[in-house]
Structure 1
Amino acid sequence: MDTTARRRRAHTVVVSPHSELYNHDVTFYKVFPLETINLTEFEELAIDRVHMLRILEQATLKGFKMLSDEWKHCVREDLVKNNLKKYVRLMNGINGQSELDIQARRADHISHYILKLAYCRSEDLRRWFLTRELEWFRTKFSAQNSQAILKFLNNNNLNYTPISLQEKSELQEELTVSTIGMSAEGVTTSDFYKVPFLEVLPLVSNRKVYLKDGYAYVPMKDLVVCLLSKFRSALSESLNSFYHKLPLIDDDRLGDLLCNLHLSYTGKSYTLGANKEGVNPADLDHYARTHYPLCMKHLHEALRANHHLKHNGRLIYGLFLKAIGLSYELFLEFWREEFTRIMDNDKFNKSYLYNFNHQWGKVGRMVDYSPYNCMKIIMGNVGPGESHGCPFKHFEASLLKSKLVEYGLSADAVNEIMSLSTGGHYQLACTKYFEHTHAGAQPSNTINHPNQYFDDSMKLAKPKVN
């Protein structure tokens, strides 16, 4: 299912009669949603949550410390920019009971279950989903006040209650000395919870809390450590259970969406180029040197060197060229001129013309195909003799390093990009490549599409009007 060019539809949202499910911004998602929703809303909820989780990931990858003011500002800004205000509402810790509040929590609850179906399918997907969901839980919980935390604990039958003022006064000195990062004044103003020490072993092992009679005295700010442990355990078990139930889903519509959800693109849609003036094929060599992402630069260089690309390379590079503004006529002229350097015109017409017409929706199913986004390129397979793929993932480390040096990057820049690449942060590596090849200028967002890279680069090259 192609979700890259989806349009938002207005839904008439009927709040579930089981609205007690949605009475708090923070939840362990223990109760399976009981509502019936249509396929369109199912897809939209799923895509929105994937987008939200990616925004959390990108804020951390940008170098902001999680839950710092800078991190929260970055997340909120990106959520608002991408029309995901319902998740901003849940970050604010209001726990309101208006219709918008309940709808936001409803979307959060249902979409969590949808993504469990999609991300239970492999160990890598489960690991990514679990990490992001723990981040989202921490984000919401960090915004809660004392009253909201007590309500959450009561909702989940957790027998954690703040110690009395008298007990805290009696233990004032011990709590001050034994609680890391807590002053005497902080002890006085903060709530402390008496928790079985086995439930907060990370705090105990790091000597961050006071222990007495088998209990740890945990300040409110650290209570999330215990809750995260419970949430992680429950979610891991649930993902395993969902995996074994997958064969029971006998619906091709859901199957296609769930199988491809991790590859779904959540950014700007690119079809025909927005360049009103169009692109001249004579400029492509210059564009490749200065404005192409590394993946498209490699495809262009391979095409110029070999006068040919295999099927996937032709498809990926062809759709990229179409989206940057190369007209249909010039598109065919460009490919014909290159291929006929090693074959005659009849061979080109017989073996390749249909393929290029197909990319434009002129033949076959007449589909206006969208260019490949980063995730789709990253997750694709690259066989022998093929030139497509993400260089930050698919290149051997030695080849990637030599290419970066060849393109004039400094030793420090090469090392920074290589570190991100070997760490599996391919899109962030591409973002750093953009910065180091554009005099430190940053793209509009973390690179998630080759055409985004091209557009951002072209904007920087335009003369500024005073």
Structure 2
Amino acid sequence: MYRSSEAQNSETPPGQVQNHSHKHKHSDPHTHLGDYPHRLNFYDKAPQFDVTLEEFEASALDRLRVLAEIESSIARNRTWEELKDMTTKQCRKYLCLDSNTARSIDWAAQRRKDHISHFVLRLAFCRSEELRRRFIKAETTLFKVRYELDDTEERRTFLSSLTFGWEEVNASEVKDVDKNFPEAEKLVNLVPVPPKYKDKPECYKGLYYKVKWTKVSELVEKRKVFLKGGYAYVPIWERDGIIFQEFETFLTGQLELTAKRLPRLDEDTRLVPILDNLSQGFLAGVSTEWASAPASGDEIRAEMIDDLAKNHFPMCMRNIHESLMRDRHLKHFGRLQYGLFLKVLGVSIEEAIVFWRKSFSGITDDKFNKEYKYNIRHSYGLEGKRANYPAKSCQQILVADKPGPSDCHGCPYRHFAPENLESALLSSYASHGLSSTDLPAIMHNVKEGHYHVACTRVFEITHASKGVKKGEGVGGGESITHPNQYAARSRELSGPSEGDARMEVES
């Protein structure tokens, strides 16, 4: 069991307090809203209960799937509505938070998971300025989406549970403020209500918030608030932006505090590997499929692989395949990365041996059998400890076994020099619709470290003739997170290839 408060005892600064406890109790989910009365959370109190290592990691991975998709959406320049829709779908799948009015829902379990997962990822992403920046941006975006979609009454009660040092000013008080000013200088004229708010009852409950002007200096600078006696009268339509800023500022401070305390965990061999793995999550999202079973039930024969590589493989596997065809040999990590990919693609052990033997044409049968055949069978779980080894995901390819000068494994989007990557992309995919005019946007994603976004964009471009649109990814806006995901979706869009059809006839 892991008690999270040992790693982080969050200290909430004055003026930023939630008036409820997060202590977990085991009771009927509909009777203890005092534990988590709101879907929205400023995460100002660290969990004070025991968490198993399994829950520690599983909850964080699910949250990371949501945050990684948010970052991917931002990198792909999706509109706010598109981003909100994608985030809602991901949350429904991995990090659901239902309204208090939902029936037959264990709210406490949902909100406990949300609470735990946020603080675990704080531990994972606090260790560098770059990780903190990316985490803050994604978390703030998630908070904005949830805030906008929250029930109006539940959002109001959530805000009333926070103390920002604000004082709600209703319409009658606004008239009292205005009575000593000439007409042109009255608050109601200086800060007019936008048309879209005039018909909303919310505006007449609390039209303005009175706050120390130093807390809203940007609004003062832009002349969007009324000033009197050291206070700014903030209109309700500017409130949300300030709340988001408060969330971001608070989270920034808490991450810096967490970073100072993190060295306490250095000797905990249970947690550090988990946190190291989580901190890589923004590189390529979190793969959920294509791990160890073939994506298709169709067997792929050795003679079909070259054609499949030219038409359906992502850049990483295409590069390895071309190197193999050129050099008639691959080093260990290249064989490992490509061999497991082919296994999950649907190449049987018999066909794999045929393919590798034909590809390694420069060596004798005896040398092949002694030095390579065993390893091929081992990767299929037929030798050694007989484990069913999974194919490597994008994240694993990106962070493990960095390729050297003469290696061909790894991710081209990360490991190639920019000019070499551009040349390779045009050489590999020009016949599939990619042109030099597409390269600037792809290379921008590469420069920003969004390698899987660059790969996803290449997929969209090269499959545009099959009906794939920009922003659609491999379906439903999903980004590439695994090479086998790319290949399987590409084959699906193309239908049975000539090789597949020939195989079906022969069988």
**Aligned residue in 2 for 1:71:** 83
**Aligned residue in 2 for 1:308:** 329
Alpha-carbon distance change, 110 to 84 in structure 1, aligned in 2, over 3 angstroms: same
Secondary structure at the residue paired with 2:149?
coil
Say whether residues 1:167 and 2:177 are aligned partners.
no
Which residue identity is paired with 1:86? C
Larger Rg: 2
Separation in 2, partners of 1:39, 1:116: 16
Say whether residues 1:118 and 2:124 are aligned partners.
yes
**Aligned residue in 2 for 1:365:** 385
**Aligned residue in 1 for 2:271:** 254
1:51 maps to which of 65, 68, 73: 65
Say whether residues 1:281 and 2:307 are aligned partners.
no
The C-alpha deviation readout for 1:274-293, integer Å capped at 9, x for no partner, is: 43230111111111111001
Aligned ranges 1:6-21 → 2 under 5 Å: 14=26, 20-21=34-35
Alpha-carbon distance change, 202 to 363 in structure 1, aligned in 2, over 3 angstroms: farther
**Aligned residue in 1 for 2:144:** 138
Separation in 2, partners of 1:413, 1:346: 48
**Is the Cα contact below 8 Å between 1:393 and 1:421 reproduced in 2?**
yes
**Is the Cα contact below 8 Å between 1:180 and 1:209 reproduced in 2?**
no
Which residue identity is paired with 2:115? H
**Aligned residue in 2 for 1:86:** 96
| Aligned-residue offset at 1:175 | 5.3
**Aligned residue in 2 for 1:10:** none
**Is the Cα contact below 8 Å between 1:176 and 1:187 reproduced in 2?**
no
Say whether residues 1:410 and 2:435 are aligned partners.
yes
Which deviates more from structure 2 when the two are superposed, residues 252-261 or residues 445-454?
252-261
**Aligned residue in 2 for 1:198:** 214
Separation in 1, partners of 2:101, 2:414: 42
Which residue identity is paired with 2:393? N
| Aligned-residue offset at 1:120 | 1.9
**Aligned residue in 2 for 1:6:** none
Separation in 2, partners of 1:328, 1:271: 14
| Aligned-residue offset at 1:110 | 1.4
The C-alpha deviation readout for 1:87-109, integer Å capped at 9, x for no partner, is: 4x3xx6x5779752232222111
**Is the Cα contact below 8 Å between 2:290 and 2:482 reproduced in 1?**
no
| Aligned-residue offset at 1:358 | 3.0
Separation in 1, partners of 2:77, 2:290: 27
**Aligned residue in 2 for 1:30:** 44
**Aligned residue in 2 for 1:453:** 486
Which deviates more from structure 2 when the two are superposed, residues 134-143 or residues 357-366?
357-366
Aligned ranges 1:341-360 → 2 under 5 Å: 341-360=361-380
Compute the TM-score of the two structures, normalised by the length of structure 1. 0.85
Alpha-carbon distance change, 338 to 188 in structure 1, aligned in 2, over 3 angstroms: closer
Which residue identity is paired with 1:75? T
Alpha-carbon distance change, 342 to 102 in structure 1, aligned in 2, over 3 angstroms: same
Secondary structure at the residue paired with 1:362?
coil
| Aligned-residue offset at 1:145 | 5.9
Secondary structure at the residue paired with 1:217?
strand
Aligned ranges 1:198-347 → 2 under 5 Å: 198-249=214-265, 250-263=267-280, 265-339=286-360, 341-347=361-367
Identity of aligned residues (%): 34
The C-alpha deviation readout for 1:197-218, integer Å capped at 9, x for no partner, is: 2222343344444444433333
**Aligned residue in 2 for 1:5:** none
**Is the Cα contact below 8 Å between 2:75 and 2:445 reproduced in 1?**
no
The C-alpha deviation readout for 1:251-279, integer Å capped at 9, x for no partner, is: 43323222212446342243131432301
Say whether residues 1:438 and 2:458 are aligned partners.
no
Separation in 1, partners of 2:296, 2:150: 47
Say whether residues 1:182 and 2:175 are aligned partners.
no
Separation in 1, partners of 2:425, 2:295: 30
Separation in 2, partners of 1:449, 1:403: 20
The C-alpha deviation readout for 1:436-464, integer Å capped at 9, x for no partner, is: 11135332221111111111110111169
Say whether residues 1:379 and 2:399 are aligned partners.
yes
Which residue identity is paired with 1:73? D
**Is the Cα contact below 8 Å between 1:21 and 1:31 reproduced in 2?**
no
**Is the Cα contact below 8 Å between 2:123 and 2:259 reproduced in 1?**
yes
Separation in 2, partners of 1:194, 1:423: 40
Separation in 1, partners of 2:363, 2:187: 81
Which residue identity is paired with 1:436? I
Q: CA RMSD in A?
A: 3.1
Separation in 2, partners of 1:354, 1:306: 21
| Count of residues in correspondence between the two structures | 444
Which residue identity is paired with 2:365? N
| Aligned-residue offset at 1:344 | 2.8
Alpha-carbon distance change, 160 to 292 in structure 1, aligned in 2, over 3 angstroms: same
Secondary structure at the residue paired with 1:20?
coil
**Is the Cα contact below 8 Å between 1:178 and 1:207 reproduced in 2?**
no
Secondary structure at the residue paired with 1:387?
coil
Separation in 1, partners of 2:264, 2:426: 52
**Is the Cα contact below 8 Å between 2:69 and 2:479 reproduced in 1?**
no
The C-alpha deviation readout for 1:30-52, integer Å capped at 9, x for no partner, is: 21212223222222211111112
**Is the Cα contact below 8 Å between 2:123 and 2:262 reproduced in 1?**
yes
